[in-house]
Amino acid sequence: MNIHIFFENVPMLADPLSDVLSLLKPHTYVVGGFDLGGDWSVQFEKHSGVKYYALVSGSAWLAVEGECNPIRLDAGDCVLLPNGRRFVISNNLAFDPTPFEDLPESGWNGGIITMNGGGDTMMLGGHFDYSGPHTDMLLGTMPAVVGLRDENDKAGLRWVLERMRQELSAAQPGTALVVQHLAHLLLVQALRLYLSHGTGRGAGWLFALGDAKIAAAVEAIHASPGARWTLPALAEKAGMSRSKFAARFKAVSGSSPIDYLKRWRMLLACERLTRRNEPVSAIALSLGYESEAAFSTAFKRVMGCAPRTYATRG
């Protein structure tokens, strides 16, 4: 008996968060764990990209350079550190911190370092560093510390954290790939949770997605980046008057709607140019430009070089 299963082509809704994250290319990726006991304190130097730390068990304090008050972390709490400042994680901030670079190599085992015999606090950490013009679209103007500590948030992160701990504690064939995917999942989940709670905390593309009306316009741009979008058309998508839409978009995203459209088009163009399998004229037309010359002018204004020069560098 032959069984035939048919799948309909169901159009996917525009997903700007996935769109942006799919363009990011991490050139540095690190993940590991800390099994801590007794009094301990570790100092981390400035970094690029995004670092995150999650407590599986125990408790700790996080002190970030330039922030007035340290943050207490308990089991299940997760923090993102997107702005690269120095920071200290400790169970006793009066204790003299050990620079991360000075931790003894003998303490590492399968991606987990043990300090003072361990057993009190288990912490997982990761670092994504990105290259290219897309990085600032992810980080934008996010604050120095992004904390995720709501009880509902913890439930969503628990499985990922436990699976990472198991993989790091008992390496198996394929562990490196599994941990990499789990860490990326943790980052996406953390950004998603922050998005759900982050409206009004700052300005940047991520905050635009947290505003239901502005998100509708952003989703329309991502669904059809080559459409002839105008301010009135985008305001209609948001269900707002043109003036209120323009002011609100600027307030939550940090840019005007048309500037956001231009920036997103250029980021898509960058990705396609690096593949080097499309003529510039085809990219230009698909992104809503009437000619290659008009596209080249816009690209140079945003990216600082001509499209063909960018493709060669890529």
Q: What percent of the chain has pLDDT over 90?
A: 43
pLDDT of residue 5: 42
Domains contained in the chain, CATH given: 16-197 (2.60.120.280), 205-313 (1.10.10.60)
User: Residue 104: what residue type?
Assistant: P
Among the residue ranges 36-40, 106-110, 227-231, the one predicted with the least confidence is 106-110
Residues 79-92, mean pLDDT to the nearest whole number: 88
Q: What is the mean pLDDT of residues 130-158?
A: 65
Mean pLDDT of 76-85: 82
CB atoms within 10 A of CB 127: 20
pLDDT recorded at residue 140: 58
> Per-residue pLDDT for 67 more than 60?
yes
Q: What is the Cα–Cα distance from 46 to 83, expressed in whole angstroms?
A: 9
What confidence category does residue 134 fall into, taking pLDDT thresholds of 50, 70 and 90?
Answer: low
Range of 17-31, 137-151, 249-263, 282-296 with top mean pLDDT: 282-296
Residue among 240, 312, 238 at smallest CA distance from 274: 312
| pLDDT single digits (tens) 236-286 | 999 999 999 999 999 888 889 999 999 899 989 998 998 878 999 999 999
Name the more confident of 29 and 182.
182
pLDDT score of 1? 46
Q: Which residue has the tokens 């085809």?
A: 282
DSSP strand E in the chain: where?
25-36, 41-44, 50-57, 59-64, 71-74, 78-81, 87-90, 98-99, 108-109, 112-115, 121-131, 146-148
Confidence check: pLDDT of 141 > 90 = no
Place of tokens 């960058």: 270
Q: DSSP 3-state assignment of 61? A: strand
Question: Any bridge partners for residue 44, and if so which?
Answer: 87
What distance in Å separates the CA atoms of residue 134 and residue 142, rounded to the nearest whole number?
A: 15
User: What's the gap between Cα 233 and its chain centre?
Assistant: 29
Which residues sit opposite 25 in a β-bridge? 131
- Span 80-88, average pLDDT: 86
Is the pLDDT confidence value at 159 over 70?
A: yes
Structure confidence at residue 4 (pLDDT): 47
